[in-house]
Amino acid sequence: MPLLNETHDPGLTSWVASANDGRTDFPIQNLPFAVFRRQGSGEAWRGGVAIGDRIVDLAAAVAAGVFTDEALAPARAAAGSTLNDLMGLGPKSASALRHALSKGLRTGATEEAALSACLVPQAQAEYQVPARIGDYTDFYTSVHHATNIGKQFRPDNPLLPNYKWVPIGYHGRSSSIGVSGQSFRRPHGQAKAPDADAPVVRPSQRMDIELEMGVFIGAGNALGEPVGIGEAESRIFGLVLLNDWSARDIQPWEYQPLGPFLAKNFATTVSPWVVTLEALAPFRAPFTRPENDPQPLPYLSSDANRAEGGLDIQLEALIQTPVMREQGAAPARLALTNYRHAYWTAAQMVTHHTVNGCNLQPGDLLGTGTLSGPTLDQACALIELTCGGKHPIALPNGEQRAWLEDGDTVVLRGWCERPGATRIGFGECVGTVLPAV
Ligand code: CA
């Protein structure tokens, strides 16, 4: 579990002035990684680190000779077109690079002249999915989401008996994962009305979001070698925001007995900036279980996981309709929640995923599942917020939404703030629903 160190010092400031305004997601205490290039430039994709409203171009910084010693290998690994190599080097290497960047970007750093020539404005950048994602697994770690959804699909039996014992997940699809800014066609699929004799195939009429976090795997594990709970966090590189777009009319007809399939795999959007577990060290939270619930089995349990296995990350989902866009209206909030409400921690996801010897590889992505909190305003999918479409949401401009309509844009945001620590954020995860083919 990463410890607090000098890179988290709230007293640190940067010679990049926009990093010091107290509002940015990217102060010098954050230093998240992305893969970027200048918009429309045809330049090579390469790794970058956010500082204020700029990006440190890691390929340029390596070429300028900014990095030495233990920071050199991870900087070279991060300068390529994906972050897989950096992720695979493990947490010590990523930490050495973070320390070098923290030192070089500090007010008064001797590296200022060399590094200032390597800055690209974020406003001029475009991004790519930060890693080549070999495998994507989506978990279901919010008991509140599982209960709310279960009530709609199985009113008599909302929470299945395995939920409180096993971190539920399924293997998703990586080919349709896109980066923030993604737009996708409303999917077709089979849907069957409860009173109909047969299903029909048509564009989904119940397009929904799922506000999740994505966990990028760093150094993986060999096939056949489980990762114990004490080692699990050393296999995590960092976290992003994730929107698991869902077709709620396709899902109930297809999901039994093998789980989600075409209702989920037509698009998944992630934010470009991967916030490292080390950057999140000041925002740890205890992992607790309600008194009357079963405690996790020993392989999913440790003192460290109980003390600080959770993460205190504020999460927000917002919507902007085409009419709002025309009116110049800002996106309106749908939900505000916190990752700390999850029933299973990130470490427990890794340990459970590998308990059978399944190998995780650098750049694999684990979704947390929809991170709904205990109250309705913390529900992170429309199916919960509108009670299955029965109670549409009233938007500030008088429009209503039961489900997403064509042209609707959904924005996810995430940030951490605590007394004694510098606020850090995840940037945005934005996606838009286009009309069906
Ligand atoms: Ca999901």
pLDDT in tens, 27-47: 999 999 999 999 999 999 999
Instruction: Judge residue 224's burial from the number of C-beta atoms within 10 Å of its C-beta, 0-12 exposed, 13-18 middle, 19 or more buried.
Output: exposed
Angstrom CA distances, 108 to 13, 14, 86, 206, 328, stand at 9, 8, 28, 54, 41
* Distance from C-alpha of 435 to C-alpha of 437, rounded to nearest angstrom: 7
- Which run of H or E residues covers position 433? strand 424-434
- pLDDT tens digit sequence for 310-354: 999 999 999 999 999 999 999 999 999 999 999 999 999 999 999
- pLDDT tens digit sequence for 276-287: 999 999 999 999
Q: Ligand 1 centroid to 368 CA: how many Å?
A: 7
Q: Tokens for 85?
A: 């190599």
- pLDDT tens digit sequence for 114-169: 999 999 999 999 999 999 999 999 999 999 999 998 888 788 888 999 999 999 99
Q: Which of 1-5, 209-213, 379-383 has the lowest mean pLDDT?
A: 1-5
Q: Tokens for 421?
A: 């620590």
The residue among 416 and 2 whose pLDDT is bigger is: 416
In contact, 416 and 338? CB cutoff 8 Å: no
Residue matched to tokens 């966990």: 215
Q: Do domains 6-128 and 136-434 have the same CATH topology?
A: no
Q: Specify the pLDDT at position 195.
A: 93
**What is the band of 105 on the pLDDT scale with cuts at 50, 70, 90?**
very high
Q: Ligand 1 centroid to 140 CA: how many Å?
A: 7
Give residue limits of the domains in the chain.
6-128, 136-434
Q: What is the DSSP pairing of strand 136-139 with strand 365-367?
A: parallel
- Does the pLDDT value for residue 272 go beyond 70? yes
> Which runs of E-coded beta strand occur in 62-123?
119-121
- Does the pLDDT value for residue 5 go beyond 90? yes
What is 136-434's CATH number, 3.90.850.10, 3.20.190.10, 3.30.70.270, 3.40.190.170? 3.90.850.10
Residue 310's identity, in one-letter code, is G
* Upstream peptide bond of 252 is cis (omega within 30 degrees of 0): no
In contact, 185 and 435? CB cutoff 8 Å: yes
Residues in the 5 Å CB sphere of ion ligand 1 = 138, 210, 244
Q: Specify the pLDDT at position 1.
A: 66
**What is the band of 3 on the pLDDT scale with cuts at 50, 70, 90?**
confident
Q: Which residues are catalytically annotated?
A: 145
Q: Ligand 1 centroid to 148 CA: how many Å?
A: 14
- Whether domain 6-128 has CATH 3.60.20.10: the reply is no
* Distance from C-alpha of 286 to C-alpha of 309, rounded to nearest angstrom: 6
Q: Which residues of 279-290 are buried (b: 16+ CB within 10 A; e: fewer)?
A: bbbbbbbebeee
- pLDDT tens digit sequence for 224-233: 999 999 999 9
